[in-house]
């Protein structure tokens, strides 16, 4: 078998789907031609074979190990992306007359609130809408009567991040799509964690849900079979045909993550990447980060420039230096550099250098 090489030259700052480790691309490419010397492509194996069961088992075991999960927490690989979780969570956890507490700190939180309102009452206990979601509210109160408290740990679009878990006895539910596995967190404090895989876990097309069993089975409504988490737990994420290849890419990425040193090593590198970029931005007046300093995201560094012509020139400069995915989300404009686990520190250094060079010429 030929050795496969990924020779991507670009610095990939995509916000998701986003960069994955080179080894993962090479192993995934190989598995499409011949999976584990089975003579079969990973795309043509049955999901009920031991070939795939081993992949699923290893992916689940790796997540449990990396996240240091206790036995009360189940790991699921589900269809549908985080957007499906926006409604699946209240459908499973919130009865019609009950109230859930939500935090409104960005685009995704707002969407989650909209879906929850279809199933019960929503108490928005904190919001940063007043300042276009450029900060994380503090000192808010979560009523102890709330069925659960939902928040987005990292706001991919706005570039803010919660740096601590709120103190509360209310069950915690978090959308960790864009910062899961990037920093040390006591994941066992959560009753439910969900994350689209296409940022820090693997490829688009699968969603990780970590759920504490004791919160399930308490609503009175009848749930569609595919929407009831308990059915997925009982069937080991194979209630129906799972997204086989997407799960496989997750497993490869989790293996890589463990080999690198797990979450602590990711945290060290992510800190270094973010620190470098924010320091550069703060030192160069031509760039303007809009987010409150203490709430800055270590995953998505967001900034604007006050001159449209200069913005265009800077974008061109990034492109000339082999950088992709640097443009900000269309709703906030400006720029965004996503620094997920698999982004090499060399890419952050290269971007910092381009910024400095640009400021010298245009600052």
Catalytic pick among 104, 147, 179, 199: 199
Site string for its own copies, 105-134 (x = CB under 8 A): ------x--xx--x----------------
Q: Rounded to whole angstroms, how far apart are CA atoms 363 and 355?
A: 10
Establish if 352 lies at the interface with its own copies (CB under 8 A): no
Binding to its own copies in span 300-339, by CB under 8 A: 322, 324-325
SS3 292: coil
Q: Which is nearer to its own copies, 139 or 224 (CB)?
A: 224
**Three-state SS at 150:** strand
Give which of 8, 71, 78, 42 is closest to 236, Cα–Cα. 78
Interface mask (CB under 8 A) for its own copies, residues 268-287, using x and -?
Answer: --------------------
Pair type for strands 190-196 and 172-175:
parallel
Label residues 207-245 b or e (16+ Cβ within 10 Å = b): bbbbbbeebbeebeeeeeeeebbeebbeebbbbeebbbb
Min CB(128)–its own copies separation in Å: 22
Nearer to its own copies by Cβ, of 239 and 286: the residue is: 239
Q: Is 199 a catalytic residue?
A: yes
Closer to its own copies at the Cβ: 71 or 225? 225
Question: Does the annotation count 138 as an active-site position?
Answer: no
Residue 7 binds its own copies (CB under 8 A):
yes
Query: Which residues between 225 and 244 bind its own copies (CB under 8 A)?
Result: 225-227, 239-244
| Residues sharing a CB contact under 8 Å with residue 98, sequence separation 6 or more, in sequence order | 120, 121, 147
Vertex 195 angle, CA 226 and 137, to 5°: 125
Catalytic residue among 104, 175, 179, 228: 175
CB closer to its own copies, 46 vs 264:
46
C-alpha to C-alpha distance for 213 and 230, rounded to whole angstroms: 8
User: For its own copies, which is the closer residue by CB, 20 or 277?
Assistant: 20
Please report whether residue 194 would count as binding its own copies according to CB under 8 A. Answer: no
**Residue 78 CA to chain centroid, in angstroms?**
15
**183: burial class by Cβ within 10 Å (0-12, 13-18, 19+)?**
buried
Q: Which residues are catalytic?
A: 108, 175, 199
Can you give the binding site for its own copies, defined by CB under 8 A? 2, 4-10, 12, 14-20, 24-26, 28-30, 32-34, 39-41, 43-47, 79-84, 86-87, 91, 111, 114-115, 118, 196, 198, 203-206, 222, 224-227, 239-246, 249, 322, 324-325
């Amino acid at each position: 078998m030929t050795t496969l090489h990924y020779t991507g030259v670009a610095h990939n700052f995509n916000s998701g789907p986003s960069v994955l480790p080179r080894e993962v691309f090479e192993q995934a490419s190989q598995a499409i031609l011949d999976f584990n010397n089975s003579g079969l492509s990973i795309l043509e194996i049955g999901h009920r074979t031991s070939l795939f069961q081993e992949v699923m088992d290893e992916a689940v075991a790796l997540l449990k190990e990396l996240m240091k999960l206790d036995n009360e927490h189940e790991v699921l690989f589900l269809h549908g992306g985080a957007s499906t979780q926006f409604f699946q969570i209240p459908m499973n956890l919130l009865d019609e007359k009950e109230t859930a507490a939500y935090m409104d700190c960005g685009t995704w939180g707002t969407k989650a609130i909209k879906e929850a309102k279809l199933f019960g009452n929503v108490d928005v206990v904190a919001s940063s809408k007043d300042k276009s979601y450029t900060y994380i509210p503090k000192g808010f109160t979560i009523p102890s009567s709330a069925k659960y408290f939902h928040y987005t740990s990292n706001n991919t679009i706005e570039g803010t991040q919660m740096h601590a878990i709120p103190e509360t006895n209310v069950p915690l539910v978090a959308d960790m799509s864009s910062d899961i596995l990037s920093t040390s967190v006591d994941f066992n404090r959560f009753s439910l964690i969900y994350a689209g895989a296409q940022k820090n876990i693997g490829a688009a097309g699968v969603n990780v849900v970590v759920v504490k069993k004791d919160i399930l089975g308490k609503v009175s409504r009848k749930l569609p079979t595919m929407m009831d988490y308990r059915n997925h737990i009982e069937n080991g994420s194979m209630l129906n045909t799972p997204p086989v290849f997407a799960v496989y890419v997750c497993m490869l990425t989790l293996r890589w993550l463990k080999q690198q040193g797990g979450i602590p090593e990711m945290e060290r590198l992510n800190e270094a990447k973010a620190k470098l970029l924010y320091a550069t931005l703060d030192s160069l007046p031509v760039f303007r980060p809009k987010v409150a300093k203490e709430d800055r995201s270590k995953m998505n560094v967001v900034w604007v420039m006050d001159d449209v012509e200069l913005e265009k020139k800077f974008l061109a400069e990034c492109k000339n230096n082999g950088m992709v995915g640097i443009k900000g989300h269309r709703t906030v404009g400006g720029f965004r550099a996503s620094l997920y686990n698999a982004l090499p520190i060399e890419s952050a250094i290269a971007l910092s250098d381009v910024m400095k060079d640009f400021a010298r010429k245009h600052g």
